[in-house]
Structure 1
């Protein structure tokens, strides 16, 4: 199986060695676009294929491509760090299963990204099943040789007039054939078909053995709607969420048949936005913040930019990536993340920040009456933070352009990263 590792917007040469893999990737990309997705690659150049803004992994018959975020220098060490950071960001945003201890274990093994994702799922699923398989009570009615539950006298008299040795009963059966177990079994079977690593295959087979009494099901999206979590089953929720990605990722369409193509893809700008919001929320105490004052996607704090004159209906919804309230409940800081690699100060004094981004933050500042407003970008060499004051006689709002360094191990170097985030927010990380 041929593996290729590239970063966002990196070129893959159309060599004879790559041609078979690229033709299968192109067929997958066309199918993906036909199902409503944005193109994963740019196919227009005859000399090479260029990755676009998705990160993750695509497996097709005979090979796989992993696309990593562009956060470090080219080379093996840079790609390894980018791979580790991608796993950390996916874990932080709950798109994959795995806590710090799981990532630490996986990080010591040199495996393709796809195999690492499978290993994380298999290890966590097996651990949870050993703690206890999901069960539920199902009411059943049947003829039995002995009394179980409640004897249904009327039905018994009709059905067993000639069979006095039988009793028609209604009883509750404690079964493991639940929607949660069906989905975990289906996902494990799919991943067993894909994985090439012996240790992961062994764990996936153990999972399937644990769930031997569970119905084999060709899972569709509506099956996930049948799950209702409670205190006993909420521990399975991250596994089910990942199973949804797995079973959808097997094909752009839900009907898979024997097709072996598979993908787990994430738009990098959305992943970066969610990662920063969840990171600040998780470490709110160290930033001296109250979690109830942090509003990701401005949930509970969304506003309209304009109102129509004749009926006062709101138009042009404003939805900042992150709003942090002050002690009085009014917005203290608005932060909008942008996954763009800007120009250096020497190339452009504005670093290539677009007018549209500035205008957007200007609208946020005025509508929310927020004094401090930040555009946050990934750091690139040669750039420096900028701070601007909005022009106006009665306005003192400012807009800042800030950066965070992602070319470090975000998991093991977390204290330095939190210190940097704290400085951006104007807060000291404890």
Structure 2
């Protein structure tokens, strides 16, 4: 039986596949077959290794009503009886392919605002790209793939990085160090070849192999436009000295990025997203298929940091402060605000949730005060979202002497609101606090 329209979710038929549309961080009542429910549970389990990306305290857990599977999961699924299920995706948007259906997970804020922030979240930002992202009706996968191919084009203009790779082989002349035993064996048999160990300075590196593999996935994906696939094939031709992808390459690139060119940061970030999504559909023959999901909370946090950093004229970063436990206990406790502005002049957090009232939430208020104490800051701010500007808590002055100011700033995500105007309002509000 194919999914049908359910309360809190919508369903429509597109050919042989039914579309079930739900919203992230919201519990929806969905009709699924037993096999579809099992596939969805497995998808959530496959993603739980990155649970910090998928689920955060930004969600209102009191409203979820879903316990989910034992352990962490990106998608909570709970049977209600028969073929009816409670489904709650945690901080994730995109499409999950099921047998005979696809689950489309929409962002909790309007799409125009989400795609505006998605463009802002990248290590690099170009207004033309942002406008293209916001102005299209393409799928999320198409947008990310387009963004990736665009980043690769920019990268190739500066050439691919090279690195030294160890090699061993028979050579006509000595290079590097001689392998005595095999070389002696060659000479005694009349073979005038020297077995050497040496290093080759070449483009066949983990970084470049990851980029090439992501380009290959884009080029062969029949769910993407032919124009985009053709662009990817043209880009692949520029990697002619790069070898085949190895499973260890994606792990290896982290340390490499720390010591090599930062211009690889954006394409590697996007390539990793493409490769990880391809791993969610192991039966698709290496094609991304209909499953493509993006963790939203870290993207939104990065977007807000980039917006503020670009316009405030001061350093805006994510940084930790460590507190020592008092005797008799030993150990440390880490405080990890999303926003450390001007070396701690202001600290704060980004909450990817839509405010429903102008009241301060106690955990949120106490978290800001703890961050301020950990960094010695006199001001703290939380940046969230609201569909009604009236749902912004008032500023507070806490403490009898040397008080700490705590402020709330909301991104106006009301229907019809221009995201560029909302961005400007957030910048102005934080500037005023600063």
Say yes or no: TM over 0.5.
yes
Q: 1:14 to 1:90 in 2, by over 3 A?
A: same
The equivalences for 1:10-409 within 5 A come to: 14=30, 24-33=39-48, 37-45=72-80, 47=84, 49-60=86-97, 64-72=102-110, 79=111, 81-91=112-122, 94=123, 99-129=126-156, 131-138=158-165, 140=167, 142-144=169-171, 159-160=186-187, 163=190, 166-168=192-194, 173-196=200-223, 197-220=225-248, 223-225=251-253, 228-229=256-257, 233-251=261-279, 258=285, 262-268=291-297, 270-285=298-313, 290-291=314-315, 294=316, 296-299=317-320, 302-304=321-323, 307-310=325-328, 313=330, 316-325=333-342, 331-344=344-357, 351-366=358-373, 368-381=375-388, 382-390=390-398, 392=400, 394-407=401-414
Q: 1:396 to 1:192 in 2, by over 3 A?
A: same
CA contact under 8 A between 1:182 and 1:216: conserved in structure 2? yes
CA contact under 8 A between 2:209 and 2:249: conserved in structure 1? no
Distance (whole Å) between structure 1 residues aligned to residue 255 and residue 335 of structure 2: 33
Q: 1:297 to 1:174 in 2, by over 3 A?
A: closer
- Unaligned 5+ segments in structure 2 are 1-16, 51-70
TM-score by length of 1: 0.71
Distance (whole Å) between structure 2 residues aligned to residue 167 and residue 409 of structure 1: 74
TM-score by length of 2: 0.71
CA contact under 8 A between 1:40 and 1:52: conserved in structure 2? yes
Q: Report the alpha carbon displacement of residue 52 of structure 1 after superposing the two structures with TM.
A: 3.3
Q: 1:354 to 1:29 in 2, by over 3 A?
A: same
CA contact under 8 A between 1:152 and 1:169: conserved in structure 2? yes
CA contact under 8 A between 1:307 and 1:315: conserved in structure 2? yes
Question: When the two structures are aligned, how many residues end up with a matched partner?
Answer: 389
Q: 1:255-300 deviations in whole A, cap 9, x for unaligned?
A: 88958574433153x4433332332223232xxxx32xx4x3444x
Name the residue aligned to 1:8.
24
Q: Report the alpha carbon displacement of residue 144 of structure 1 after superposing the two structures with TM.
A: 5.0
Q: 1:178 to 1:169 in 2, by over 3 A?
A: same
CA contact under 8 A between 2:118 and 2:299: conserved in structure 1? no
Name the residue aligned to 1:76.
none
Q: 1:53 to 1:134 in 2, by over 3 A?
A: same
Distance (whole Å) between structure 1 residues aligned to residue 420 and residue 118 of structure 2: 14
Distance (whole Å) between structure 1 residues aligned to residue 140 and residue 284 of structure 2: 25
CA contact under 8 A between 1:51 and 1:67: conserved in structure 2? no
Q: 1:238 to 1:364 in 2, by over 3 A?
A: closer
Helix, strand or coil for the counterpart of 1:341? strand
Name the residue aligned to 2:423.
417
Distance (whole Å) between structure 1 residues aligned to residue 36 and residue 359 of structure 2: 36
Distance (whole Å) between structure 2 residues aligned to residue 122 and residue 222 of structure 1: 18
Q: Report the alpha carbon displacement of residue 12 of structure 1 after superposing the two structures with TM.
A: 5.6
Distance (whole Å) between structure 2 residues aligned to residue 183 and residue 386 of structure 1: 48
Q: 1:384-428 deviations in whole A, cap 9, x for unaligned?
A: 441223253x35333333322245899x86476234323234258
CA contact under 8 A between 1:186 and 1:219: conserved in structure 2? no
Q: Report the alpha carbon displacement of residue 183 of structure 1 after superposing the two structures with TM.
A: 1.6
Q: 1:297 to 1:181 in 2, by over 3 A?
A: closer
Q: 1:205 to 1:167 in 2, by over 3 A?
A: same
CA contact under 8 A between 1:379 and 1:403: conserved in structure 2? yes
Mean Cα displacement is larger for which, 42-51 or 396-405?
A: 42-51
Distance (whole Å) between structure 2 residues aligned to residue 406 and residue 235 of structure 1: 32
Q: Report the alpha carbon displacement of residue 117 of structure 1 after superposing the two structures with TM.
A: 0.8
Distance (whole Å) between structure 1 residues aligned to residue 21 and residue 27 of structure 2: 11
Mean Cα displacement is larger for which, 259-268 or 351-360?
A: 259-268
CA contact under 8 A between 2:356 and 2:386: conserved in structure 1? no
Q: 1:339 to 1:225 in 2, by over 3 A?
A: closer
